[in-house]
Amino acid sequence: MKVLVTGGNGFLGRAVVAELLARGHTVRSASRRPSPELDALGVRTLTCDLRNAEHVERAVQGQDAVVHSAALTRLSGARGDFVRTNVEGTRAVVAACKTHGVARLVHTSSPSVVFDGRNHRGADESLPYPRRYLAAYPETKALAEREVLAANGPRLATLALRPHLILGPGDAQVLPRLVARARAGELAIVGGGHNQISFTWIENAAVAHADALERLEPGASCAGRAYFVAQKEPVELWPWLAELFTQAGIPAPTKRISRASAYALGAACELAWKLARRAGEPPMTRFLALQLACDHSYSIAALERELGYRERVSTAEATARLVALLRGG
């Protein structure tokens, strides 16, 4: 197939491009910045701003399928920025797919679209969307996911994947920030310290996207549905981080803060950043406080059963690779 990957120059996008190339597909990438790395692989790269419908039309034209992984992923910021990229940008991708006769659209979503601040342990896709969100990112990703799934039909088949906490070489969002805080002595255990979470090794996330693309077609049973993507084996966040950091020679967190205190701190930081119109992300937000304190682990039974997914890198192997990465850093 001829496949467009939006955000192909990003952390997940590059891995998806590599996996699709390995399976014999012809890949085009659309990203905000040029990518010599992808050019070297023979991938046609286009500069594309999702907020520009003409850019999106040009990128989608002539393709058989689209993997839409581009998004604005910060934990804070002006809601309008998230709406324009995550909602309106996704809407433009859907419209372009319909205009140019694209038959398959795999949308990268997030488990945060169903996170309501309560404990979710081993949850499946029956979780409903919450009535309110604590941040613009999960809210706009939920709006985008719903539009993609609603667009599923006899000519354009759509589905959404919800990879959780993607880790691996090239991650600039999750683990590097935790490591920086741990080394500065600023990382504290939030809540009871035994909350169970899922994460996703980058290669596994890419495999799931390629599997979904190859199973998806108009009328397929998977069309119009959302699927969690995660390691089969979840971890207890704080003991797992302590083991990971200790093996890598990084100070493990020992300070503690209650969930309620972290939530209050997050609310105060959000207000301070808003009033001061400060750039960048605050050190704590309400959404982050709950993510650090609550269970959020997910079942991949549906992904395995309906999309034929098989985990390539186990949790134990992913953990060993993370230790090696941290030692090398």
Q: Determine contact, residues 141/114, Cβ cutoff 8 Å.
A: no
Length of the chain: 329
137 belongs to the catalytic site: yes
80 contacts: CB under 8 Å, gap ≥ 6: none
Please calculate the CA angle 277-280-282 and round it to the nearest 5 degrees: 85
Catalytic residue (one of 137, 227, 263, 309): 137
Active-site residue set: 137
